[in-house]
Structure 1
Amino acid sequence: MATSHKDSQASPHLKSALAEFLQAYPTFQTTSFIDELRKREFSRFDEQGHIYLDYTGGGLYAYSQIREHTDMLRYGLFGNPHSTNPTSEAATELIERAKSYILDYSNSLPDEYVAIFPSTATGEIKPVGEAYFFRPGDHYVLTFDNHNSVNGIREFAGPKGAEVTYVPVIPPELRIDEGWMHRYLDQAHFDGNNLLAYPAQSNFSGVRHSLDWIKEAGELPARWAR
């Protein structure tokens, strides 16, 4: 008979093993807030005997999100945002607040960036490739661990004569090779429409790359969009 995670939690053997573990590794107790968060927001894991690992593919919703979203729908009146009646204006205000929050969270200036809500990652990135003004001699630089949708921009860059270059990531941590990144950024044409694309957090490895490359590319003499 299979033993559920919930049953294992209550077993005296597990409690004894946990006590020994904490004695050997006392700093583990500093992560107890994660256990409290799991118990408070994701107790259905234990109730259903699940372990979820695919957070880079899609994060799970917490109980507090369900409650707040339910209350918003229950007590609010939201109509088509493309009109001027009160329900439409309420929906528009909610959308604009969400966009503003995203820009603030990512330290992005509204004069330089726009937040959009596509149905998929590919749907978000494809218009960039279609609309970007690549020309012969321009440079499209991306990293090996980009999402497939970002790789797809090369299908628009290459036929227009732009050079496509991949910056390697270095094992074992799979972080961006800084030497190659500096080299490729410096090689860009001064008056070109160059484009830099890399993930803030890798969809492949989960590594969080430095966002300093965005600022550095913007400060170079060559014209970089990023």
Structure 2
Amino acid sequence: MRAELAAAAGPLAARITGHPFWDGLRRGTLPPAALWHFAEQDAHHVVPAYARALAGCAALAGSDAHGALLASAGSATFGSLPRLDEELPKLAAALGTAAPGAAPARPAPAVHAYTSFMRAAPARSFAAGVGALLPMTWFHLLVCEDLAERHDPNGRYAFWIARYLPEGDYLEHYVESFLTMIEEVAAESPPHERDDLLTCFHRAAAHEWNFAESAYNRESWPV
């Protein structure tokens, strides 16, 4: 399973990091409003949904070790939310994009679809639930590695990238533990649940790309 996922993840991650949003962020050419859209949607909707989906999967885990990993990750993600809220006004001031005291934007259509998918997937099976969480877990690391390697350190958004990149190597350890769990879950699951895991992984990867697309286009509801 891990080899199969790795073979799929490489091209998928390359498409995501090659998206004009991430390319523009690296180069410093991204419109400020696009970065604000991403940061606000991420802090107010995507990351909280990821935390809740982790907690929901933890409750369904058949293995104590898997439940502990997911519950710990969920707790850490919930714990990061106040820091994300504190960072948003600083970013808005730096970009000049949001009015002081403006109410948080509701989830954009692509974000609503992604967060709903993450939270609903465990209802199908535990394997589907962790498959749906794998792209946000794994691709965050791959995107951060790409940003660290290729961004312009003197670019317009170097200040935000420095805050976005994780400190230390905890993210690498977390992704490694998550992938080990995925392998164990796949080995213990019947064929249809293994298929669920793969299907949800690919759908969530598409949602990751759509999130970048949504931010780049500053997507909003037409009505």
Which of the two has greater helix per residue?
2
* TM-score using structure 2 length: 0.19
More strand by share: 1
Which of the pair has more CA radius of gyration?
1
TM-score w.r.t. length of structure 1: 0.19
Q: Which has the higher contact order (CA 8 A, sep 6+)?
A: 2
